[in-house]
Amino acid sequence: MSIRTTPETTPPRETHPVVFDAGMVSYELVRSLGQGHHGELLLTRQRYHDGAGGYTVLKRLNRVVRQEDYQRLVEEARLGGQLRHPNIVSVELLGGTPDAPLLLVEYVEGRPLGDLMRLAVRAGRSVSEALACHVTSEVADGLHYAHALLDEKGRHLGIVHRDVTPQGILLGRHGEVKLMDFGAAWSRLEGRISTEGDSDLGNLAYSSPERAMLDQLDGRSDLFSLGLILLQLLTGEHLLHAAARHEAELLSRQLRARGDGRVPGLEELSASRTGELMKRMRQLSSQHVQAATRSLPEGLRPIVHRALAPRREDRYATGAELAQALRDHLWNSGLRYGRAELVAEVSALTQAALEDLEQPAGTPKRGRGAASRGRRGGSGSRPGKAS
């Protein structure tokens, strides 16, 4: 790696550490974006001899390296290189050296859905029903594409993401909705390593009942995870009461990356709490789902029921079916919602939440759902507390 010098006639510029030098272009560190599966995510700026280029995300192995992490990173590059869809963050290439591989990933300016949900709940605000349905339908489209993907020989790859969570869904600055990080994915990719016993195979808080039963997973498991997110956006409640578990799992991943395998103080990850969650997953019934969706609009209720059916045979067979059902609901409800409406609602919610958080303690808030009320796609919808 090297940092190129500029001609003496060029004004001096601020330099940043070079993470990766690819010859005609180098990648300078901007900041860390936190942990992904098996590696740290770094935002970098491309630097050419004549000036700066665009931004790229690099995933590099953590300093505490396991052999399986190395193998999974290479596998993620091979699998991600075949995934080309507007609702999936694309993998550009695998670079670096055999000793220090780097995954180059598309940079999407925006924020994770999970961050928006946390901001909203801290300010006591909500997202619109239209946002919940739109975002879910976009992710469902991406999942449908991944689930149906064939290899170059025409064989079904059988991809299962296994980690569909709010933190893994990006809301772009221009209204894009993208699913990211297939680092925990299962597939029939030739030469893939066995993941039996891998300790970093997705977030249990958004897993399906069949995972708790140790059954073979298919795409309908991902759709159940997406259904959990949809219900949480609409009602503010996690069906399995596992929102705190999700936050603990995210923190645990950060701590493990620093080499602290003990992860002290995270009671949600204890064996007893894990056992309780697994039991709730195995015992989930249609009655539980019906009780959790009682407050939803009549037209939306059956869609959520089917997405969260305890038996996968009773769920939507494909992401395309789920996406179409949600779009039909929006159309029938007179709600028109797309990229422009998403940008406007996220901006308004963020601004309103920040204003609320800056107010002195005890000051009355402007009311739940105020950020989305009156906006195209937000008016007429039943807002629910985000969490």
SS (H, E, C) 237-291: CCCCCCHHHHHHHHHHHHHHHCCCCCCCCCHHHCHHHHHHHHHHHHCCCHHHHHH
Tell how far CA 1 is from the center of its chain: 32
Class of domain 18-106: alpha beta
The low-confidence residues of the chain, meaning pLDDT below 50, are 1-8, 10-11, 197-200, 368-387
Are the beta carbons of 94 and 102 closer than 8 angstroms? yes
Locate tokens 């989930």: which residue? 284
Q: Which of 218, 272, 211, 214 is nearest to 245 (CA)?
A: 272
Phi, psi of 352 (to 5 degrees): -65, -40
Q: Provide CATH 1.10.510.10 ranges for the chain.
A: 110-332
Fold of 110-332: Transferase(Phosphotransferase); domain 1 (1.10.510)
The model's pTM: 0.83
Tokens of 366: 């402007």
pLDDT value at position 379?
A: 39
Distance CA 347, CA 257 (A): 33
Q: Which of 158, 191, 195, 272 is nearest to 37 (CA)?
A: 195
- What is residue 209's three-state secondary structure? helix
pLDDT value at position 384?
A: 37
pLDDT value at position 1?
A: 38
Q: Provide CATH 3.30.200.20 ranges for the chain.
A: 18-106
Which element (helix H / strand E) includes 146?
helix 129-148
pLDDT value at position 193?
A: 64
